[in-house]
Amino acid sequence: MSTISFDTLEATRKLRDAGFDEKQAETVVRVLSDAQSNLVTREHFDAKLAVVEVKMDKLSWMLGAVLAVAIANFAKQFF
């Protein structure tokens, strides 16, 4: 799993320079840092997409089988 680097000390300094007090700056940086743990990485997305593709393949085969049975039933009634 890849990680995103985030310089919390530098972010805190920039927020303090912009007018935040120490406690506010630290809280904002902590929230941003915690939010990064919930980000979806490219690898995670690709893995989930692979699962969806497998399920779609199964659905395609099942739909094909159901259509074949329906067509066979229709043909049996009229021929």
CA distances from 9 to 13, 16, 32, 35 (A): 6, 11, 12, 17
Q: What is the predicted pLDDT for the residue at 28?
A: 93
- Per-residue pLDDT tens for 11-48? 999 999 999 999 999 999 999 888 887 777 778 778 88
39 sits in the region (left: phi over 0; alpha: psi -120 to 50; else beta) called beta
Q: Write out the two tokens for 73.
A: 């039933």
Residue of higher predicted confidence among 59 and 5? 59
CA distances from 70 to 4, 12, 54, 73 (A): 53, 66, 25, 5
Average per-residue pLDDT for the chain: 85
